[in-house]
Amino acid sequence: MISVSNLSYAFKIGKKGKENIVPVLHDVNLQVAEGEIVAVVGRSGSGKSTLLNLISGFIQPEVGNITINGTNVSRFSESKWAEFRLNHLGFIFQSFQLIPSMSAFENVELPLVLKGVGEHERKKRTEEMLKRVGLESFQNHYPGELSGGQQQRVSIARALILNPPLILADEPTGSLDSENEKQLLSFIKELNEKYGITFLMITHDHEVASIAHRKVEIIDGYLREGRMLHEVQR
């Protein structure tokens, strides 16, 4: 599902021609198989969010290649990335990224609108998706009227509405209390087991990483696999 090979990245800080080069990732190689839940674990500043931004096309790699679902996306233009994301990827964000002026129904429906799906089909699929995440009775509520856990479920419903094979999650429980975190992690496991959706999660939380089939650690931009979580957090 995801193949990252020999990926390196550095930020350039300062004026052009006088930039300071700040290396972030060093020769990263990562494979994520279809149907896997993989957690990328690391401290703040370790490079894990940069890796996710590269895989999702918000940053273009300078060295190395990224292949998603058989397509090499490494040198995609912004317009091609926008189309690819709409058709192949779903996103779960720490801050939910819901539009405050739109109801839960409208937030979930939005990707269908962007893809040009007809009104009748949009209504049917959106209602089915809200039922699937247990929010059918909250479809007319606005984000400000929902709990954090409910808002994250709306975010997940929006991520799933186009049936993407891959979900990228950036600290998905970071804004949730412990009870809502537990419910969300259980729901992610259910989606994976029931529908075979592949998840790549970025997290610093060992509780979140514990649901993964595989945990990968980033230390100072270097990827390592197979270490115990208590070692990661030292």
Return the domain boundaries, the chain.
Answer: 2-232
pLDDT in tens, 116-130: 999 999 999 999 999
CA pair distance 116, 122, nearest whole angstrom: 9
Task: With H, G, I as helix, E, B as strand and everything else as coil, classify residue 43.
Answer: coil
Residue 143 confidence (pLDDT): 95
Phi, psi of 226 (to 5 degrees): 95, 0
H or E stretch at 52: helix 48-55
CA 161 to chain centre: 14
Say if residues 223 and 216 touch (Cβ distance below 8 Å). Answer: yes
Determine the CATH number of domain 2-232: 3.40.50.300
**What is the per-residue pLDDT for 34?**
95
**How high is the pLDDT of residue 230?**
37
- pLDDT of 197 > 80? The answer is yes
Written as six digits, the tokens of 194 are 């029931």
Beta bridge pairs of residue 217: 41, 224
Confidence of residue 94 (pLDDT cuts 50, 70, 90): confident
What pLDDT score does 167 carry? Answer: 94
pLDDT for position 53: 93
User: Which secondary-structure segment (H or E) carries 25?
Assistant: strand 20-32
Q: How confident is the model at residue 226 (pLDDT cuts 50, 70, 90)?
A: low
Question: What is the dihedral sign for C-alpha 91, 95, 96, 101?
Answer: negative
Model confidence, pTM: 0.86
Lowest mean pLDDT among 89-103, 171-185, 194-208: 171-185
- pLDDT, residue 62, reads 86
pLDDT of residue 66: 97
For residue 222, is pLDDT > 80? yes
Dig out the tokens for 205 from the structure: 């939380």
Mean model confidence pLDDT for the chain: 90
C-alpha distance from residue 10 to each of 91, 119, 130, 188, 200 (Å) = 24, 45, 41, 32, 22
pLDDT for residue 20: 85
Q: Give the Å distances, CA to CA, from 145 to 25, 93, 94, 142, 150.
A: 40, 19, 18, 5, 9
> Mean per-residue pLDDT for 92-109?
93
Residue 75 pLDDT > 60, yes or no?
Answer: yes
Q: Which two tokens stand for residue 6?
A: 């020999």
What percentage of the chain reaches a pLDDT higher than 90?
A: 67
DSSP SS3 for 179: helix
Q: What is the pLDDT of residues 17-72, one digit of tens each?
A: 777 888 999 999 999 999 999 999 988 888 999 999 999 999 999 899 999 999 99
